[in-house]
């Protein structure tokens, strides 16, 4: 599944090369030449991943990474540090600043794309095209198909994205606000009860196959996807 990647790189030639290879891999690329520009882009909408050069004019990449990790809205964004500094202590500093991976220049485009895929699979599995399964419930984001017991189930696009996100984060409780940010986008202003409407639609679609109880309502907290039996404290 294509991801929106923010590339923060001050060297125009390197920025162009990386951007071209990411777009060739199917990703949507946003570009910034410094941390200040990157901050403005992030304020407008959260990217799926940030590629961040260490050496930037003004605020360094390490400082920007620390700032991203210190703020609740941005701390979960997957982050890969790009740098010509290959010493062990530099790698440690980059990782300790909050980077999920550290790629030393020069690197091959294929390696970078593979690293991005690995980080997204680990940190943001909902952005990949990997099929997700729970028992005989299977969701394929690449073909936008959902099957239950081998039979196709029809879901609207929003219900599909919502189920995909929940299935890729099993057993974790997500508030309505978190689901709105992750599924609708953090700059889309809709009522939190909108989530409830789409959850009900998804349950209706899965009820004939007896999979409607997999998405559970946790009173006072939100929703979770679970194959475990609901406890008395949980209401569907």
Match 């050496």 to its residue by tokens.
55
State the burial class of residue 141 (Cβ atoms within 10 Å of its Cβ: 0-12, 13-18, 19+): buried
Kindly tell me the sign of the dihedral angle through the C-alpha atoms of 63, 67, 69, 75. Answer: negative
Question: Which one, of 54, 58, 62, lies nearest residue 105 by Cα?
Answer: 54
Dist. CA 121–CA 24, nearest whole Å = 19
The kind and range of the H/E element at 205 are helix 193-206
Which tokens belong to 146? 């959902």
Domains of the chain: 4-127 (3.40.50.2300), 132-235 (1.10.10.10)
Q: Which residues contact 204 (CB under 8 A, 6 or more apart)?
A: 212
Match 């125009």 to its residue by tokens.
12
Q: Are 23 and 29 in contact (CB under 8 A)?
A: yes
Dist. CA 184–CA 221, nearest whole Å = 19
List, in sequence order, every residue forming a beta bridge with 223; answer none if it has no partner. 174, 217
Q: What is the pLDDT of residue 9?
A: 95
Q: What is the pLDDT of residue 234?
A: 45
Residues in the chain: 236
Whole-angstrom distance between the N-terminal and C-terminal Cα of the chain? 30
SS3 sequence of 57-118: CCCCHHHHHHHHHHCCCCCCCCEEEEECCCCHHHHHHHHHCCCCEEEECCCCHHHHHHHHHH
Q: What is the pLDDT of residue 75?
A: 85
pLDDT tens by residue, the chain, 236 residues:
678 999 999 999 999 999 999 999 999 999 999 999 999 999 888 888 999 998 899 999 999 999 999 988 888 889 999 988 766 677 777 778 888 888 888 889 889 999 998 888 777 776 777 898 998 999 998 898 999 989 999 988 889 989 999 998 888 888 888 888 778 876 666 778 888 888 988 889 999 988 989 999 998 889 999 987 554 444 44
Q: How many Cβ atoms from other residues are within 10 Å of residue 116's Cβ?
A: 23
3-class state of residue 35 by DSSP: helix
Q: What is the pLDDT of residue 227?
A: 83
Question: Which one, of 196, 194, 186, lies nearest residue 219 by Cα?
Answer: 196
Q: Are 162 and 198 in contact (CB under 8 A)?
A: yes
């Amino acid at each position: 599944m294509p991801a929106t990647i923010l590339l923060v790189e001050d060297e125009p030639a390197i920025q162009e090369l990386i951007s071209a290879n990411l777009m060739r891999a199917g990703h949507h690329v946003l570009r910034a030449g410094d941390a200040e520009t990157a901050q403005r882009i992030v304020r407008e909408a959260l990217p799926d991943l940030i590629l961040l050069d260490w050496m930037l004019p003004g605020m360094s990449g390490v400082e920007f990474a620390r700032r991203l990790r210190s703020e609740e809205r941005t701390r979960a964004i997957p982050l890969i540090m790009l740098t010509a500094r290959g010493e062990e202590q530099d790698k440690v500093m980059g990782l300790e600043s909050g980077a999920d991976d550290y790629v030393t220049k020069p690197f091959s485009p294929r390696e970078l794309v593979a690293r991005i895929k690995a980080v997204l699979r680990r940190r943001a599995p909902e952005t990949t095209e990997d099929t997700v399964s729970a028992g005989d419930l299977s969701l394929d984001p690449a073909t936008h198909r959902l099957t239950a017991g081998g039979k196709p189930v029809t879901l609207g696009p929003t219900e599909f994205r919502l189920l995909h996100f929940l299935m890729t984060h099993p057993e974790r409780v997500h508030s309505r606000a978190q689901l709105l940010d992750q599924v609708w986008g953090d700059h889309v202003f809709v009522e939190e009860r909108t989530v409830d409407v789409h959850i009900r639609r998804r349950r209706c679609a899965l009820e004939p196959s007896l999979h409607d109880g997999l998405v559970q309502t946790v009173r006072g907290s939100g929703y979770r996807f679970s194959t475990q039996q609901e406890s008395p404290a949980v209401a569907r």
